[in-house]
């Protein structure tokens, strides 16, 4: 019984989220500022859409919500997530550049050895 309720709740939240994302897409597309297809845009804002869907679901079912506070907390969480992802990407890029530098040094060292063979 509880599993059926949870599945129904999840589906309703996802439906609300999809509608929110589509409305945002069409709002931005009509403003002429949309480089993505509808599906690409929906995927890009899906976390926010699910947040909005959950909030709307709770409102519709009479649960207590504080939209401004929850949105502020969500945005802070997203900023932290974005900063973490940026740090990881930077570390990965630094690592790749270090590996490339090491390979260049090896190639140059190999070229120096080849010069000795020719003499």
Domain range summary for the chain, segments of one domain joined by + = 1-65, 79-119
Query: pLDDT-based confidence at 108, cuts 50/70/90?
Result: confident
Q: How many residues does the chain have?
A: 119
d(CA 44, CA 40): 6
Give the Å distances, CA to CA, from 16 to 38, 57, 106, 114, 118. Answer: 16, 8, 56, 67, 73
Mean of the per-residue pLDDT values for the chain?
88
d(CA 66, CA 94): 42
d(CA 34, CA 13): 25
Alpha helix (H) residue ranges in 31-66:
38-44, 46-60
* Cβ–Cβ under 8 Å, residues 14 and 38: no
Positive or negative, the CA dihedral 17, 22, 25, 30 is negative
Record the pTM: 0.64
* Cβ–Cβ under 8 Å, residues 50 and 17: yes
Per-residue pLDDT reduced to its tens digit, 51-92: 999 999 999 988 888 888 988 998 898 899 889 999 999 988
């Amino acid at each position: 019984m509880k599993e059926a309720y949870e599945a129904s709740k999840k589906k309703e939240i996802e439906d609300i989220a999809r509608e929110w994302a589509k409305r945002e897409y069409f709002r931005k597309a009509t403003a002429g500022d949309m480089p993505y297809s509808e599906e690409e845009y929906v995927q890009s804002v899906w976390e926010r859409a699910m947040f909005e869907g959950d909030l709307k679901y709770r409102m519709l079912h009479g649960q207590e919500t504080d939209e401004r506070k929850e949105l502020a907390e969500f945005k802070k969480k997203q900023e932290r997530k974005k900063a973490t992802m940026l740090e990881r990407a930077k570390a990965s890029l630094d690592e790749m550049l270090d590996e490339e530098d090491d390979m260049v040094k090896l190639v140059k060292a190999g070229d120096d050895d080849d010069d000795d063979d020719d003499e």
